Structure 1
Amino acid sequence: MKAIVIGAGLGGLLSAARLSKSGYQVDVFERLPITGGRFTNLSYKGFQLSSGAFHILPHGPAGPLAHFLKEVGADVKIVRSDITTVRVPLKKGSQDYEKGFKDISFTDFSTLLSHKDRLKIALLIVSTRKNRPTGSSLQAWIRSQFKDEWLVKFADAFCGWSLSLKSDEVPVEEIFEIIENMYRFGGPGVPIGGCKGVIDALESVIAAHDGKIHTETEVSKILVENGKAVGVLVGEEAYKADLIISDLGHAATACICEEVLSGEKDSGYLKILETLKPSAGIKICLAADEPLVGHSGVLLTPYAKRVNGINEVTQVDPGLAPPGKHLTMSHQYVAPENVKNLEAEIELGLQDLKEIFPNKKYEVLLTQSYHDNWPVNRAASGKDPGNETPIPGLYVVGDGAKRKGGIEVEGVALGVAATMKKILG
């Protein structure tokens, strides 16, 4: 059996590794000169910066991505982060960092609430595990249950960090799926070697099973015969296959199937694609001689103007920075109306970092923005159309086709696993 994978991002390489190990003859076509897409390393001044996703797996060594890597035989060591914290002002409600702040454990967020609201949170945690709320955004649901704006700030920081969305853009049912996965798999972890450590391991699996990865090779068209995907067009050459996996997202995949996806039976699918909104974000990479965060987990910053969360992966893997240096990276959500004014958004993020790390010395290595055709996610979490398409033999994987409750790369892995189950049984 022959399979073609379009795109050598994380979703494409996970698919190629699984299919090649299952006996498929696999060819991967990638238009860029590198593999990994937004999940690899960029070497800069001796630091290993990530091209997109942070060097962190949201559910660490027990999560869906770690499980999939083990299943295909990809040799990646993942170290569980020690703690995730939330930075809050010492005076509740204050946004003036100069008056002092403290870091509390992520699991202690409710200690900033009144005794009555803490009891309500405890009851809701128990009751909603079986009867989950639906039909509203997370923010609307929070405001229907509580009067404390702290919970909205906390939700915005968490959603901004993990999904690059605000809490009023995330369906409440998606957040409860995420919470369930946090119970099931635990918190974050760091892969040794960063993102590229994962990509290199997957490439080794593909090569060991005679799969081929073609870089600087762009697929211009998906070939369809009698309503079924049968191959791709690369330049003037046609490559036939029994199965096509696209890591381009649904909208871009539809563009190279445009004349096919035009019938009445496909109209519902095309209407869904019109509603997909890529999420945007900014990452700021810092170099320092001393730790800024001081632990290997995530530091959430709900009282910052723009920055949602920060991590310092050199606490686990010093090899991601030159000897004696630390690599710290912040992430901030960018609202759709602010995408055209990224310089101002970056400046607000830089101001946040000065306030979050007062009296600390650091160098801004690089600022990276993700939007439009190079977004954080090609479809907002909880709103993508899944992995199937109206064309038999054509599936979509990656950040535009995650499964419910999957944070970033964990959702990518869940989507690939579900797709492989449909294909391989």
Structure 2
Amino acid sequence: MKIAVIGAGLGGLLSAAALSKEHDVTVYEQLDMYGGRFTNLPYKGFQLTTGAFHMIPHGPTGPLALLLKDVGADVEIVRSKPEGTVLMQDGKLVSAMNFVDVLSPATKLKVPLLAMKALGQKTGTAADFLKGFPDMLPLADSFCGWALSATAANTPMEEIAAILKNMQKYGMPGIPMGGCSGVVDALAGVVEDNGGRINLSTRVDAVKVEDGRATGVSVAGQNVPVDAVISNIGHQLTSKLYDRKYLEPKYAEVLTKVKPSAGIKICLAAEEPLVGHPGVLFTPYTRRVNGINEVTHTDPSLAPKGMHLTMSHQTLRSADMQQEIKLGLEDLKKIFPGKKYSVLMVQSYKDDWPVNRISSGYDLGNLTPVKGLFVVGDGAKGKGGIEVEGVALGVRNMLELFEKAYG
């Protein structure tokens, strides 16, 4: 089959690497680079990122690692040890695996029952679930902010339950050697080795549809006939590429309601370690920063010799971007008192360059009203998939749907 992939982000490259084993695949990317929000951004000798952190939520045993192995992408992923720590109000650190130590005695007694109940929760938000347990809400906000760029109040508890199950199943974070580029470079290599093509600086203007089925794409005014289309640009942007007569009313209505998640990343340079380990530092008692990582303990090549790269993340809580950045910078001063560091870059993610095209827990799956047109990426994640793990789960599901449709 002849397949067009729109967008060379992580979802598009995973799809192309898998499908190019047996099919004729061409990837079209409007930027002059592949990787989207999951690649390295060289700056002053540091390897910053265009979006995602140099961290994979379930490390070498998670959905992304398994799919990379399946498609033949050789990526070394090193498990983070410790997995994470929590910064307390008094400045002390506790293991993220022993977070119950920070809770009140009354809440500690109820944690086992809460955990069992959480795994089966189907309704409400995480904040609703924790009503009556105010000492757990900051921890939930820190986790949701770090992992999903959301708050506990706007994250469905059903999604949290699925995440908890995946944490039990797949394990904890890991770091890809070479950072994000280590992953997408390997995938691009697989696509090309399989005979596929990645066309950069090439925009798809339209998806051609006949009798409700995708039959081609328009590129620079030229119609390219295809048998199927995989879109990595999200449901909303994808829906603008084909004739609106094929846009089902219920689907169109849903598209008007879903929203992207937004966040801010602050990148720091320091000669001495700030976090002190390669896991996640959760910061539940700050005004804005949700979590921080320092992956140069595992991969020193991501910074100049003798330097560390430290990156913080915070979900965007208001429309005043400058105020949000200011509060994040103030948080970092309090988190690292007396430490010497410089701010390399502040990056914001929203609108058409968001953290997720659709907030976690509200993903719309891989299907569209047009037969043969599938969506992958961070607007079509699998249930309970944290960021790139969700992208991998979504691609895996798309491949199953593809196989059912075409054999």
Question: Which residue identity does 2:26 align to in structure 1?
Answer: D
Q: How many residues align?
A: 403
Matched, 1:42 2:41: yes
Task: Write out aligned runs for 1:22-421 (5 A).
Answer: 23-83=22-82, 84-90=84-90, 101-129=91-119, 132-143=120-131, 146-147=132-133, 149-262=134-247, 266-335=248-317, 338-339=318-319, 341-421=320-400
Q: 1:118 Cα deviation (Å)?
A: 1.3
Question: Which residue identity does 1:47 align to in structure 2?
Answer: F
SS in 1 for 2:244: coil
Query: What do the CA deviations read for 1:56-88 (whole angstroms, capped 9, x no partner)?
Result: 000100000000000001000000000201101
- Whole-angstrom CA distance in 2 between matches of 1:43 and 1:260: 44
Question: Which residue identity does 1:139 align to in structure 2?
Answer: A
Q: 1:226 Cα deviation (Å)?
A: 1.1
Question: Which residue identity does 2:294 align to in structure 1?
Answer: E
- Whole-angstrom CA distance in 1 between matches of 2:73 and 2:97: 32
Does structure 2 retain, via aligned residues, the 8 Å contact 1:293–1:299?
Answer: yes
Does structure 1 retain, via aligned residues, the 8 Å contact 2:209–2:243?
Answer: no
Question: Which residue identity does 2:265 align to in structure 1?
Answer: K
The residue that corresponds to 1:3 in the other structure is: 3
Query: What do the CA deviations read for 1:232-276 (whole angstroms, capped 9, x no partner)?
Result: 0011111111110000000000011242434xxx11111111111
- Whole-angstrom CA distance in 1 between matches of 2:234 and 2:117: 36
- Whole-angstrom CA distance in 2 between matches of 1:173 and 1:135: 6
- Whole-angstrom CA distance in 2 between matches of 1:140 and 1:190: 33
Runs (4+) off by over 6 Å: none
Question: Which residue identity does 1:111 align to in structure 2?
Answer: D
Query: What do the CA deviations read for 1:217-237 (whole angstroms, capped 9, x no partner)?
Result: 000100001110011001111
Q: 1:123 Cα deviation (Å)?
A: 2.1
TM-score (norm 1): 0.93
Distance change >3 Å, CA 254–CA 300, structure 1 → 2: same
SS in 1 for 2:130: helix
Question: Which residue identity does 1:314 align to in structure 2?
Answer: T
The residue that corresponds to 1:19 in the other structure is: 19
Question: Which residue identity does 1:165 align to in structure 2?
Answer: A
- Whole-angstrom CA distance in 2 between matches of 1:346 and 1:235: 39
Q: 1:119 Cα deviation (Å)?
A: 2.1
SS in 1 for 2:264: strand
Question: Which residue identity does 2:222 align to in structure 1?
Answer: E
SS in 2 for 1:48: strand
Q: 1:113 Cα deviation (Å)?
A: 2.1
The alignment yields a C-alpha RMSD, in angstroms, of 1.0
- Whole-angstrom CA distance in 1 between matches of 2:349 and 2:5: 24
Q: 1:415 Cα deviation (Å)?
A: 0.1
Does structure 2 retain, via aligned residues, the 8 Å contact 1:282–1:331?
Answer: yes
Q: 1:199 Cα deviation (Å)?
A: 0.4
- Whole-angstrom CA distance in 2 between matches of 1:6 and 1:408: 20
Does structure 2 retain, via aligned residues, the 8 Å contact 1:254–1:261?
Answer: no
TM-score (norm 2): 0.97
Question: Which residue identity does 1:376 align to in structure 2?
Answer: V
Question: Which residue identity does 1:229 align to in structure 2?
Answer: A
Aligned-pair identity in percent equals: 54
- Whole-angstrom CA distance in 2 between matches of 1:102 and 1:424: 52
- Whole-angstrom CA distance in 2 between matches of 1:251 and 1:70: 31
- Whole-angstrom CA distance in 2 between matches of 1:172 and 1:354: 33
Does structure 2 retain, via aligned residues, the 8 Å contact 1:224–1:260?
Answer: no
SS in 1 for 2:88: strand
The residue that corresponds to 1:97 in the other structure is: none
Q: 1:127 Cα deviation (Å)?
A: 4.6
Question: Which residue identity does 1:274 align to in structure 2?
Answer: T
- Whole-angstrom CA distance in 2 between matches of 1:342 and 1:351: 14
SS in 2 for 1:18: helix
